[in-house]
Structure 1
Amino acid sequence: MNHRIALSIGIANYNEPVHQLGNAGNDAVLMAKTLTSRGFDTTLCPDPDQPQLLAALDTLEARCAALALEGKEVFCVVYYAGHGVEMNGNGYVMPADFPAELQPSTLSHYGVSLLNILSKMTAAAGPKLLVLDACRESLAHWNSFDMNRFAENVAADRSTFGAALDATNVVIAYSTSSGAIASDGKGQNSHYCEQLAELLLRHDLSITEMLTEVGQRVIMRSATRQRPWYTSSLLKRYKLSDLPHYQLTQAVPVNTAIDYAARIHERQLDMTVILHNQRHVTLADEFERRRLLNAKSAIQAIAVHGEQLFVKTANNQVTIWSGDGNAPVVIKVPRDDTFGIEVSPRGTAFAIYGMRCFQLFVLDDSHWRCAHQLQGPNMSYYGAVFPSEREVFICNGKGEISRFDASGPTTLRHDITTDIHGPIYDLAVLPGARLLAASCCGGQVLYFNLATLALSGRTTLGRVGDNRSVNYAALREIGASDSEALAILDRRDVLLDDSGTEWEAEDDSANSYEDKLKYCVRIAHLDHNLLCCVAVADARVLAIGSEHGFVFMLDIRNGAVFQTLDIGGGRGTKLQWLCAAASGVAALSADGVMLTYHSVPAF
């Protein structure tokens, strides 16, 4: 396992009043907080004098060296905000006890060279990012005697720390260009720190892409007065993101045609995937397909709990197969189409839901009884989830979520108000964040506090907004809307107009293309149904399956999409269903292909 270590240094309160800075301390605090949120074990070092700064660097080196002895690589970041000087590419930072007068003798005695810092960071293999949010003032005003003494200092540093010059996978980022000053900012933070902290939270950017974007923003905001730079010896593309990348490892066709009720389910007992389709329940383990059950009538829904199978068939019964050879339990249920079954964590309750009906069953004294039932001619129930053994949430086609608590003699109901004017398709409990997530029509994902049931957040998928430059390839990393529309145009020669009449694709003139694009974008926005809401093994990640054939991987800490998986949308195929898998997610496309994505850990 690789490790992330960071040191954030900020020096605002210098001993000499002439060196005082307003925001360097704030900058270090902000960077420490940001790096910590990205999985770095971060140490904040405020206003260190030279001995304290050297001690912090020695500690950093020791930690990296200890991990290197264990055969581990380290992603090491050092951020410095304070005063600095540079001459001929040789830089020094100035600790809090730096004297008022800047001379070669004071620089050699009190300053800390960048080579010294870099040498501490290279004690272990792995990427290193050294960020210098400081001035790079030139020493050109020195006389020849001072220059000679400075050259002697540089030669001594190169003799001691010269090996760091040949280090690989190193990036040194400067907040300004050589010989120039860096703005301390007018608010609480410097321009450079503000932009760096914001872009550090982007999951889709590599280190160099992030620094390029930071540079562009700072140049624009400073009216070209400040121009950040960076140098790099990276050998590969590294990201600051602490979330895994989901990589397609297999795509295997299902041998039989997929019916409308076909679904896949995770079996945690052996970390396999169970498929139900038509009258069959099949175990899917890598490339193996093994039939578990053949039903006498069509299977509408199943649930998997340990070795147990809960099977709802078209002959209006739920059969519970124990897996231990004992006779199954059969429960009669209403004559309505069933969309799904959900089982409680310990298997002593289950909910069955579908068209016009919802039922909650609990196990009392070895007998199943119906604890609650909802039936109505104009209602469909699309999803359910158990946060605890006798507590279940359900969602319906009118944008409503209800909680039922069957822990007492009477089942208690609590309705949750939403602003969704249409179906809520699926629910997931995010135990680490104590949230209930709901995937809805219109590309909406809602988050509710499990304790208060209050709405605590929202993610809107499928709306790029004004960013018309997003192309089809970018869909792999971010959300979709215009890109989906472009994909629709790519794969269809016939569209429907507002009246439902087929609209034949004509020539490629700009007007017809733009009209069709606008129409497709509008349809994608209104009809962006998020069918599946899946909590995966990584507690920071939520997988949302779109009817259009894409799966959006969300960072639940801020609701941002950090990766988009193309299940079939790029080839015009919709998503059938989605479930968690051993180390990632599994998806079933509507044309009968089962795809498995494994998570590749971040560095």
Structure 2
Amino acid sequence: MKRYGLVIGNNKYAVDPLNNAANDAQTIHSILEARGFDSQLIIDATRSQICDAVSSLDQKINKGDLLFFFFAGHAIEHLGYGYIFPIDIDTSSPGAIQYFGYSVEELLQKTQPYNATRIVVLDACRNSVDLNNFDVRPFIESIHEQRASTEATQRDLLVAYSTSYGMKASDGNNKNSLYTEILAELMPSHNLTAEELFKEVGHRVISGSKLGQRPWFYSSLEAKVKISDLPSFTFIHSFVSPAGGSDFALCGGRDQGALLLLGNNSTIFKLNAAGHSSFGSLAGGVKAAAMSNNGIIVFLSNKNHLIVSSLKVGFDLGRTKLTGLTISSDGQYVVVFGDRSFSVFQLNNDSASCISSKKNLKHTFYCAEFVTDKEIWLGGSGNCLTIIKLEKPNVEYVVVELQIRGYIYSISKFHNNLVLLTLSSGDVYLSYRNTLITGLAINLGKTVRKPSSRRSSILNRVGEDEMIRQFLFSPKVLDDDIISDISEDLQSNDLMYSSFANNLPVLAIGSTEGLIYLIDTRNWDNFQCIDVGGGRETELTGLKFTADNLLVAVTRDNHVFYYTPVTHNYLASLDYVDSILS
């Protein structure tokens, strides 16, 4: 489905010019473009420009596409049929409107044959004509002819008006009209269908105008349509993992190529869209693995051995309690990290050597990322980053204190010199690589979010089932001091995993309690939350996007789940197939 916008804003009327219509159009046009629409903007359009713009849609729109038409300016309506005013209309007499105005019904007639979904929004007055005017009779007869020829044929259409029939619409005292201001605020939402969007817009305009302006919309939409350009991620299949339990269940390259499933089982499995196949084996099982973009894979075995796929030898890492490892994109360096220690290895064609090793440090490391091929960020306990720079001849490392709360559980490279940090506090931070300036991007909750997880957290503190139920579902009935006292035992919302989609502005962040938060990285809107546990009280142990944007999740109870991006309403798709089969 392709998405097109045609946006018109007219200020420069010879009679009664407007102040904000052009601003309104520019605002809506910008939002449409930000949401993936191919949008055309026309400011101060003549009738011929409007006709040409509508006619040009014939070269673009196909069956199943979405058209969003927006007009801000002067308009008039009678018996439910309206005319928008181009700037070259020189009078508002019925005769002039009939021949020089642009009929909304003409727009609907010309776009109906496309078999596309259409949303038509008119931020304009809906005043009727003066029935005492002698010229009004042929105008009304023309409207009756349009009603007969168009009403029965309109399908998959939503028409939204900024005000009620016979009423004026405020041009607004600020940059935008009241209607456009509220519409622009809500349009970027990923969770509202078009009908929900205009219902909420109407509610807010009525309230904001103190009952002075009451928007309306009419809909014959045949599916749930959203302005959002992002898909919903829908569960498609799962299987029981053959790899056994592990804290590090998934391994994938930064180019999102092969995806490996690890565990206590000696066999390593390769995942694909259909399921899994055997990839190799490692005695005793694998604790962690990492993959470079040129296909080199490194494994950290449960016996504390570093295994490099391109070499025939392994390296005994001693008795240090190790957490994981990662490899640079070019496959030249590996960092292994764990309890107050890290080691950096350089890989050559036929050998590997440890070029730096530090032990008995202040902090335990839980994650590491090559933000460049020669710069490593390590995070863990303490409000700090440990940064390793692999510049010859020396390896340097420095500890940088950050203004953050909680432990760092995942580090991921973002774009524009930014690095993403997820924390035990439920906070997600962005940090500039060069300056280390760090700011909060989004908070996903300071404590665990699921009622079952909260109940488990406070069982030791509260022995009364009724008080637990009230705390979870009716906290307003409890005193504030009781809530504060119980809340002290709530577990933190540990954000353990992060993964970016391949060609979508989507970030997936996974918490230990089995919740996956899907984030729009353009405005940091949490537009979807997936519960992979499904009430099973299991933890998330791995989360990765594949190259084709399948989202793969692994849980503590040895299940692997696949979620696919869906841009259409899948229930409507099921109904369509059922109608064909019947």
- The CA deviation at 1:164 is 7.0
Distance in 2 separating the partners of 1:524 and 1:13: 63
Distance in 1 separating the partners of 2:445 and 2:256: 35
* 2:242 is the alignment partner of 1:277: no
Contact kept? 1:133, 1:175, Cα under 8 Å: yes
2:553 aligns to what? 587
- Three-state SS of the structure 1 residue aligned to 2:73 is strand
Instruction: Summarize the Cα distance change of 1:337–1:122 in structure 2 as closer, same or farther, 3 Å threshold.
Output: farther
1:556 aligns to what? 521
Paired AA for residue 559 in structure 2: V
Contact kept? 2:458, 2:489, Cα under 8 Å: no
Q: Which of residues 169, 178, 186 is equivalent to 2:165?
A: 178
Distance in 1 separating the partners of 2:515 and 2:488: 16
Which range moves more in the overlay, 240-249 or 389-398?
A: 389-398
2:138 aligns to what? 149
Paired AA for residue 505 in structure 1: D
1:473 aligns to what? none
Instruction: Summarize the Cα distance change of 1:548–1:444 in structure 2 as closer, same or farther, 3 Å threshold.
Output: same
Distance in 1 separating the partners of 2:249 and 2:326: 13
* 2:429 is the alignment partner of 1:446: yes
2:460 aligns to what? 496
Contact kept? 1:5, 1:76, Cα under 8 Å: yes
* 2:465 is the alignment partner of 1:505: yes
Paired AA for residue 34 in structure 1: I
Q: How does 1:264-303 map to 2 (within 5 A)?
A: 264-266=250-252, 271-280=257-266, 281-286=268-273, 288-303=275-290
Which range moves more in the overlay, 566-575 or 149-158?
A: 149-158
Paired AA for residue 143 in structure 2: V
Contact kept? 1:485, 1:520, Cα under 8 Å: no
Q: TM-score scaled by structure 1?
A: 0.86
Q: Which of residues 312, 316, 321 is equivalent to 2:304?
A: 316
Q: Which of residues 58, 61, 66 is equivalent to 1:61?
A: 58
Compute the RMSD of aligned alpha carbons.
2.9
Paired AA for residue 249 in structure 2: R
- The CA deviation at 1:266 is 2.9
2:383 aligns to what? 399
Contact kept? 1:297, 1:313, Cα under 8 Å: yes
Q: Deviations over 1:294-332 (max 9, x none)?
A: 33335322123465431112433201123xxxx523233
Distance in 2 separating the partners of 1:177 and 1:525: 50
Contact kept? 1:336, 1:356, Cα under 8 Å: no
Gapped regions of structure 1 (runs ≥ 5): 464-480
2:126 aligns to what? 136
- The CA deviation at 1:267 is 5.7
Distance in 1 separating the partners of 2:386 and 2:508: 22
Instruction: Summarize the Cα distance change of 1:104–1:287 in structure 2 as closer, same or farther, 3 Å threshold.
Output: closer
1:474 aligns to what? none
* 2:496 is the alignment partner of 1:531: yes
2:3 aligns to what? 4
Paired AA for residue 149 in structure 1: P
Contact kept? 2:458, 2:490, Cα under 8 Å: no
Distance in 2 separating the partners of 1:172 and 1:524: 51
Distance in 2 separating the partners of 1:32 and 1:365: 54
2:575 aligns to what? none
1:486 aligns to what? 451
Instruction: Summarize the Cα distance change of 1:519–1:334 in structure 2 as closer, same or farther, 3 Å threshold.
Output: farther
- Three-state SS of the structure 1 residue aligned to 2:134 is helix
Distance in 2 separating the partners of 1:238 and 1:535: 25
1:94 aligns to what? 85
Distance in 2 separating the partners of 1:150 and 1:403: 75
2:372 aligns to what? 388
Q: Which of residues 230, 248, 258 is equivalent to 1:243?
A: 230
Q: Deviations over 1:122-148 (max 9, x none)?
A: 352332111000000121x23263331
- The CA deviation at 1:117 is 1.9
Aligned length: 561
1:78 aligns to what? 69
Distance in 1 separating the partners of 2:28 and 2:522: 18
Contact kept? 1:195, 1:217, Cα under 8 Å: yes
Q: Which one has the bigger strand percentage?
A: 1
Distance in 2 separating the partners of 1:255 and 1:522: 38
Gapped regions of structure 2 (runs ≥ 5): 570-582
- Identical amino acids, percent of aligned pairs: 27
1:108 aligns to what? 98
- The CA deviation at 1:365 is 6.4
Contact kept? 1:5, 1:40, Cα under 8 Å: yes
